[in-house]
Homo-oligomer: A and B are copies of this chain.
Amino acid sequence: MKIAEKTLNYVKSLTAQSIAVAKNGHTGSCLGASAIMLALFKDHYNFDVSDTDFLNRDRFILSAGHISPLYYTMLSLFGFDVSLQDLKDLRKMGSKTPAYAEYRVTDGVESTTGLQGQGVANAVGSAIAQAMLAERFNSVGFPIINHYTYCLVGDGDLMEGCVQEACSLAGTLSLNKLILLYDSNDATMDGTLSASNRESVARKFKAMGWNVIRCLKGNRYSSCSKAIALAKRSLKPTIVIFKTTIGIGTSKEGTSSIHSAVLTEEELKRFNKSLEVFENFYVPNDVRDWCMATTRKGKLLHEQWNQDLAVYATSNPVLYREFNSFFDKKKLDIEKFARNSYKWEGLSGRELNNVVLNELSQKFSAIVGGNADCGLITKSNIENAGYFSTANRRGKNIHFGSREQAMAGICNGIALYEDFYPFASTTLAYASYMMSAIRLSAIMKLNTMYMFTSDSIKIGQESVANLPIEQLACLRSVVGLNVYRPCDGNELLAGYQTHFEKGGPTAFVLSQERMPSVEGKYEQALQGGYILVPAKANADIVIYASGSEVGLALKVAESLKKQYDVSVVSMPCTQIFDKQSDSYKAKVMQKSAKLQVAIEASNDNIWYKYVGSDGLVVSVDNYAKCGNGEEVYKSFGFDEKEIVRKIIKKLAN
């Protein structure tokens, strides 16, 4: 038996074994995709196990996350920090080999996938980032950034809208270093693929501007390897369609019944015998050596790259300096900007953000991002920085089109790539399209910045579906996402400072209309919430508000001040506030007050956490009627007199 065939047998056996030990997993696709993965790792994937963060490594993203056990087998055979014991520990709590591969958990893993569809968007982001750096820093004879991004997808991924959005954009942008490896086995969890999907993937991808390669022998290592070699020469993004057999070599091969199945002891024994594998969790030396030859080659290629870079540094000193400082965010100095007391007055939230975004972008090149065809509304364009396109790889703005989900997933991919600080911008209502990607930003602790404008019913003349009500509650429920809803530029700067100092992700929630005239406090806003108006002695009433409602809260406080001692708390970021010391929180919350009030044009129940079950929450508890913004706002009770009346009534009870 040839060594390639023998290795493939061991790959299959080890993977099936680990799933059998875990008693849970997807044997079918893991076996079906094994030849593709072996071809990729053995002959194409460029990595250095001694430095898995090496900048010019290939990126590999496993969008079909249920194939993780196979992925772990590959990582183990090719010398990543995954041992045979780790394979045995598949799906155990605290192991290096969780059910689905996770970023920051397993050596070599580039993204947390498992939620179908997200991985492809991440891969598109990676390819965009690569193209940006290549254009900026490659010079004649020194293509220092010229790697590929590979992404393995299954039938499920390709049905996801997020993937369709991302691939449509990848075709539009001619991302030729992007290669999708499509494990096409015509079976899904619930049955044959044709029951739910009869489209021609090949023709669809061609229509989207992709190069399409068919590999009919997707179960054969050599055929797979040749197909990938071909893909690397394309001027367009490529999808290689590998026809494979789900659960190959098992008694249920080719049927959906093996999709989510585990081999019994009996079946496993028979399966191993057919593969001529007679030991458990064992790798023969010739198999190990064959794999490690590639691993050594990867290390050598990295050394060669280092040497090339040294020459590059001498021949391109200016470029090299720029290259070395590209991701250096110390240049930002947001504190200094804050000390300069910019005149924010009279600006809308989105205009405040435009000022800050552009100021920071000038100092720090690694801020890139864009809009979902609403730059005119969000005003989050980097001026004079161009648009990223096939012809202009230097552009820092990205026209995402009406593809909100892919925009978020792609920004995650850019953030995963290196120390980029990507931003995704649209109106707040569209955050509902992006929740899955936003969660993954938080799960992976990425530096993605979300810039949402049109942040409340106050926008008025809109589709009722575009008047945001639930979005603040949804965003604030994402663990690890800082949601900053600033009342002015100083608070917004505090949000940016927190983002760049402590890491992301962050959602900036910004008004479309001019903000009421309020002067927020930068230093205090770094605590997430703070007393904007202190009580004279002991507060009778504490009023919490965020964003545009802070100005309203101030007016309410002013109206009440003759009768009551009123304190106003500005709360741009509840998540940061919650992390402060108990004593700081107690000082701000002033619990001895007779009444706690929260004012926010959302329907977020989070305010009860501060005002208590007896507090008064002025919020939106109904779908807005479209109309003049101020009228709509007032009709929901966001009116000074109305709120004063409610407060006095509540105090009388």
Residues in chain B near residue A466, CB distance under 8 A: 100, 114-115
Copies of the chain in the assembly: 2
Check A207/B204 contact, CB under 8 A, given A461-B22, A613-B610: yes
Q: List B contacts of A635 (CB < 8 A).
A: 93
Residues of chain A in range 458-482 having any CB-CB distance to chain B below 8 Å: 461-466, 469-470, 473-474, 476-480
Shortest Cβ distance from residue A126 to the other chain B in the assembled complex, whole angstroms:
18
Q: What's the nearest-Cβ distance from chain B to residue A352, in Å? A: 21
Residues of B within 8 A of A156 (CB): 373, 401-402
Which residues 367-398 of A have a CB within 8 angstroms of B?
371, 373-377, 387, 389
A196, closest chain B residue (CB):
B401
* Contact status A443-B470, CB under 8 Å: no
Query: A206 contacts the other chain (Cβ, under 8 Å)?
Result: yes
Q: Report whether A465 and B477 are in contact in the complex, using a CB–CB cutoff of 8 Å.
A: no
Distance, CA A586 to CA B169, complexed state (A) = 55
**Interface stretch (choices A46-54, A186-194, A218-226, A485-493):** A186-194
Is the pair B99, A461 in contact by a Cβ cutoff of 8 Å?
yes
Instruction: Name the residue of chain B whose CB is nearest to the CB of A92.
Output: B627
Are B470 and A98 in contact, with the CB atoms below 8 A?
no
The reply to whether the CB of A199 lies closer than 8 angstroms to some CB of chain B is: yes
Known A-B contacts A203-B207, A462-B100, A464-B114; A93 and B625 likewise in contact (beta carbons under 8 Å): yes
Q: A405: which B residues are within 8 A, CB to CB?
A: 161, 433
**CB-based nearest B residue for A206:** B203
Contact of A191 among B206, B399, B400 (CB under 8 A): B399
Say which residue of B209, B463, B608 sits within 8 Å of A605 (CB atoms): B608
- Judge whether A307 is part of the interface by a CB distance below 8 angstroms: no
The interface-forming segment of A336-344, A434-442, A562-570 is: A434-442
- In the complex, chain A residues 569-604 whose Cβ is within 8 Å of any chain B Cβ: 589, 591, 596, 603-604
Contact A470 B465 (CB under 8 A): no
**Alpha-carbon distance between A479 and B19 when the two chains are bound, in angstroms:** 43
Cβ-defined contact, A260 with B99, below 8 A? no
**C-alpha gap A206/B202 in the complex (Å):** 12
Contact in complex: A99, B463 (CB < 8 Å): yes
Residue A243, interface by CB 8 Å: no
Residue A195 interfacial (CB < 8 Å) = yes
Residues of B within 8 A of A285 (CB): none
In the assembly, what is the distance between CA of A207 and CA of B400, in Å?
Answer: 24
User: How far is A399 from B195 in the complex, measured between Cα atoms in Å?
Assistant: 7
The interface residues of chain B lying within 8 Å CB-to-CB of A620 are 479
Alpha-carbon gap, A160 to B202, bound state (A) = 20
CB closest residue in chain B, given A202 = B207
Q: With an 8 A cutoff between CB atoms, is A197 at the interface?
A: yes
Asked if residues B196 and A100 are in contact (CB atoms below 8 Å), the reply is: no
Using a CB-CB cutoff of 8 Å, which residues 168-208 of chain A contact chain B? Answer: 168-169, 171-172, 188-191, 194-204, 206-208
- A609 interface residue, CB < 8 Å from B? yes
A100 contact from B115, B208, B464, B473, Cβ within 8 A: B464
Residue in chain B with minimal CB distance to A622:
B479
With CB as the reference atom, state the residue of chain B lying closest to A166: B161
| Among candidates B203, B464, B591, residue contacting A203 with C-beta atoms closer than 8 Å | B203
Cβ 8 A contact of A463, one of B112, B377, B406: B112
* A628 CA to B95 CA, complexed, in Å: 11
Q: Which residues of A contact B (CB under 8 A)?
A: 22, 24, 65, 91-95, 98-100, 102, 112-118, 155-157, 159-165, 168-169, 171-172, 188-191, 194-204, 206-209, 260, 371, 373-377, 387, 389, 399-406, 429-430, 432-433, 435-436, 439-440, 442-443, 461-466, 469-470, 473-474, 476-480, 589, 591, 596, 603-606, 608-615, 620-623, 625-628, 631-632, 635
Q: Can you list 14 pairs linking A and B with CB atoms under 8 Å apart?
A: A24-B461, A92-B628, A98-B627, A115-B463, A117-B402, A161-B162, A162-B433, A188-B401, A188-B402, A196-B373, A435-B470, A473-B477, A605-B606, A612-B612
Known contacts A470-B478, A473-B477; 16 further A-B pairs (Cβ under 8 A):
A92-B627, A94-B625, A114-B464, A115-B430, A116-B402, A117-B402, A160-B165, A161-B165, A164-B168, A196-B401, A199-B207, A203-B203, A589-B613, A604-B605, A605-B608, A608-B612
